[in-house]
């Protein structure tokens, strides 16, 4: 898209910051919380001060974010749009889309007035078109029912089409400095480690949410939410957390135990069933043939490589070639195999490659990074 970070159309509104006093201590100890990793009782003020100071000194620069301590707030439209985009992809992937959307539709009213087809086309590559449809429905509700101004409470935001509990809390906290408890998977992980929560996921979710809530105060709730997001994304990572760089390691029970990576605990899953399929990598010079999957079902509406059915038995070479979407003059060649784990099953995909033509969306190899990971893996295997 050729859009750089420096071109971010950040629009901020100057709002006086509330100065609050008296951070509350953590409530009476529950079975889920204990002393901090430094041997002193964990207290909300000390933990909060350490994390907020770290955030003030090195917050990630994001085009939808107002710098911490600036006294400015980000436009709720920007917060909402970025949160919807980030529900299904990473910050580096979402950023050019965010910049492109906000250049083209600088306000929620502009987005609301956009033709469906334009928004769907601009969304291409972000996947899950249902989200794009919800995005439009929400923008139109804000424009038609709220005069183009986002509601400024969690409750009001939650009433908008397609806005779930997490997004409502994030917009309320970040855009309006509301005392909202913003909890996603990253925050659950951080809480499970800070408090060394032994109860396994997903049963522990309510307890993790309550623990996160015990750390929220009326002082800088937007910055607090974003500080936790940054901690989970850059330091308290799912694998190999960078505890030696963590601003709250002195408070962290899992760090003190020496096994932070083992949190959050999980119940052992029953073995997933395995399915088998074939992915077809058809090339035309530097381009690869992609097809759009049916709107309903797994990876619905997303672009991917053409595939066979996914079934319970492995595919023999002859069967795989017979099921190919087109015949190829030079023949289909075995180009490897990949494994991928979905929520309810594991998939082994054989990859067959050929040079040829078919009715498809032909895509540069450079653009394959936007594919769902199962197809990206298969394309990489096929291209060597």
Name the residues that contact ligand SF4, by CB under 6 A.
Answer: 190, 193-194, 235-236, 241-243, 246, 248-249, 252, 254-255, 260
Nearer residue to ligand SF4 within complex by CB, 75 or 230: 230
Nearer to ligand SF4, 33 or 363 (CB): 33
Q: For 117-136, b where at least 16 C-beta lie within 10 A, e where not — what string?
A: eebeebbbbbbbbebbbbbb
* Termini Cα distance of the chain: 26
- The distance of closest approach from Cβ of residue 197 to ligand SF4 in the complex, given in angstroms and rounded to an integer, is 12
Helix-, strand-, coil-residue percentages of the chain, each rounded to 5: 40, 15, 45
Report d(CA 21, CA 261) in Å as an integer: 35
CA–CA distance, 100 with 159 (Å, rounded to integer)? 27
Minimum gap (Å) between residue 41 Cβ and ligand SF4: 17
Q: Name which of 310, 312, 286, 322 is nearest 375 in CA terms.
A: 310
Q: How many residues does the chain have?
A: 384
* Angular region, 51: left φ>0, alpha ψ -120 to 50, beta rest: alpha
245 or 311: CB nearest ligand SF4? 245
Find the catalytic residue in 35, 83, 261, 355: 83
Q: Which is nearer to ligand SF4, 116 or 259 (CB)?
A: 259
| CA atoms in the 13 A half-sphere facing the CB of 30 | 13
| Residue appearing with tokens 């522990």 | 204
Report how far residue 276's alpha carbon sits from residue 286's, in angstroms, rounded to the nearest whole number. Answer: 28
Q: How far is the CB of 230 from ligand SF4 (least distance, A)?
A: 12
Rounded to the nearest whole angstrom, what is the least distance from the CB of residue 38 to ligand SF4 in the complex?
11
Active site residue 83: yes
Per-residue DSSP letter, 307: B
- Comparing CB distances to ligand SF4, the nearer of 194 and 381 is 194
Q: Minimum distance from CB of 31 to ligand SF4 (Å)?
A: 19
What positions carry a catalytic annotation? 83
């Amino acid at each position: 898209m050729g859009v750089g970070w420096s071109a971010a159309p950040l629009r901020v509104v100057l709002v006086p910051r509330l100065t609050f006093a008296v951070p509350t201590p953590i409530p009476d100890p529950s079975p889920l919380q204990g002393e901090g990793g430094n041997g002193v009782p964990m207290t909300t003020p000390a933990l909060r001060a350490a994390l907020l100071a770290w955030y003030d000194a090195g917050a990630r620069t994001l085009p939808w974010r107002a710098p911490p301590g600036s006294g400015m707030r980000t436009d709720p439209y920007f917060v909402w749009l970025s949160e919807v985009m980030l529900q299904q992809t990473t910050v580096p992937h979402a950023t050019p889309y965010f910049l492109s959307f906000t250049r083209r539709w600088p306000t929620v009213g502009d987005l609301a007035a956009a033709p469906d087809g334009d928004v769907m086309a601009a969304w291409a590559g972000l996947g899950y078109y249902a989200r794009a449809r919800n995005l439009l429905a929400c923008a139109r509700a804000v424009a038609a029912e709220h005069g183009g101004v986002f509601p400024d409470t969690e409750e009001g935001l939650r009433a908008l089409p397609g806005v779930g509990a997490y997004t409502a809390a994030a917009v309320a906290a970040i855009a309006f400095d509301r005392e909202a408890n913003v909890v996603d998977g990253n925050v659950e992980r951080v809480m499970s480690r800070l408090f060394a929560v032994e109860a396994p996921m997903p049963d522990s979710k309510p307890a993790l949410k309550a623990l996160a809530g015990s750390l929220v105060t009326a002082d800088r709730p937007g910055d607090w939410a974003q500080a936790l997001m940054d901690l989970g994304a850059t330091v308290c990572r799912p694998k190999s957390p960078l505890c030696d760089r963590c601003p709250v390691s002195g408070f962290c029970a899992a760090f003190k135990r020496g096994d932070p990576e083992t949190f959050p605990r999980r119940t052992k899953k029953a073995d997933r069933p395995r399915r088998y399929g074939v992915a077809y990598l058809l090339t035309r010079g530097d381009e690869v043939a992609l097809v759009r999957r049916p709107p309903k079902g797994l990876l619905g509406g997303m672009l991917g490589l053409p595939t066979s059915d996914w079934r319970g038995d492995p595919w023999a070479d002859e069967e795989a070639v017979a099921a190919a979407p087109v015949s190829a003059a030079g023949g289909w060649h075995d180009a490897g195999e990949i494994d991928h784990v979905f929520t309810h099953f594991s998939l082994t995909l054989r990859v067959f490659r050929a040079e040829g033509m078919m009715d498809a969306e032909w895509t540069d190899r450079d653009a394959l990074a936007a594919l769902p990971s199962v197809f990206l893996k298969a394309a990489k295997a096929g291209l060597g």
